[in-house]
Amino acid sequence: MFQTGYILTRRQDLFWFLALPFLAAGIALACQQWLNGVALVTIGLWVTVPHHFAGWLRTYGIPEERQLWNDRLYVGPLLIFLACIAGLKWAPITTAMLVILWDHQHSIMQQHGFARIYDFKGETGAPSTGRFDLVLGWVLFCNMLLTSPLFMPVLVRELYRFRLAISPEAVRLIGAVSWTVTGVYAVIYLGHVLWSLAKGYRINPVKYLFIACSYFMWYFCAWQAANVLVFGVAHRILHGTQYSVMVYWYLRRQTMKGESKSRFAAALVRPGNVAAFVLMGLFYSVVLHLLSGGPVGGLIFGWGDFPNLYEAIPSLNLPSMTPDEGYAVVTQALLETFGLTHYYFDSFIWKVSDRRIQKGLA
């Protein structure tokens, strides 16, 4: 009935995938207590950006896999860069909002990917289990966005900004519908698990612990803390750290088994050299930070006349956007455009069904 399987090892999974959500929430609460909003920027610089470096290394570091992806590794980033340049010039705020939405989708898919690895390593689950897991992730995350005191007020404010007034009754109705859908799907999901057992498929209890821990952290930060700083810090620590750990061990397994001839990747992930992997990620972060705040940031900002692009809207009591506000938006969007390529690559380089990927996970 039950068969355990681990992404790394029992002890490592206990820390990186089961305990880390609670540790991340604790660190975020400490930041709220003793630090200000700069903590979110700092965590982004030292955790989020290095995990983008890990994504670049994972994508281009293995020549054998790089040949499989072919043109997608070059055409896709070029199109994303051009789209971001256009977005930063004509609609920087909209561009930033689209990036945030893609980031949420990327987070759902990362946790779903880890769940698939748990079933792969444990040889558990029915053929349809992956689809049920994916829908569960979407339902839980969307319910958090539509009902939590952290996200719902932001959505309401945005609707008012676009002159789409929403009544208190409508807000309560949306919340009731969202919770109803979540409850109904929870029953359906439990039914699928019981059906799988009845059909002779085993289940991996560690996978369900992992899902529960991840969504506990998100729901706790969105409901109990209801603070942007707390949610942002906890989310970035969880997401960035787990991804970097996964890349490190995947590349290590590939290079140690002789599945890859990449000398650079092998040097960074060989046993006893984890410091080199970490330092390269931090170096990448520092360089990107200097670029975004230096000549590159100034060049991008010079392309947009923000007080004219976003003029005052008296009916909503919104003043025109100042140059400082415009610079902040563009700098943030510039940083996030590097994240877009990370989201794009991850949409196809981690397919657990691919036999080459399975060799790196085994």
For residue range 129-169, what is the model confidence (pLDDT) as tens digits?
999 999 999 999 999 999 999 888 877 776 776 677 788 88
Residue 250 C-beta-side C-alpha neighbours within 13 Å: 25
- Rounded to an integer, the average pLDDT of 17-31 is 96
Per-residue pLDDT at 260 exceeds 90: no
Six-digit token pair at 124? Answer: 């558990």
Q: What is the pLDDT of residue 298?
A: 38
Assess contact for 177 and 142: CB atoms under 8 A. no
Q: What is the pLDDT of residue 161?
A: 65
Per-residue pLDDT at 295 exceeds 50: no
More reliable by pLDDT, 271 or 261: 271
Q: What is the pLDDT of residue 225?
A: 84
pLDDT bracket for residue 305 (50, 70, 90): very low
Q: What percent of the chain has pLDDT over 70?
A: 79
HEC string of 150-208? CCHHHHHHHHHHCCCCCCHHHHHHHHHHHHHHHHHHHHHHHHHHHHHHHCCCCECHHHH
Round to whole Å and give the CA distance between 203 and 208: 9
Residue extents of the structural domains in the chain = 20-103+228-345
Per-residue pLDDT at 116 exceeds 90: yes
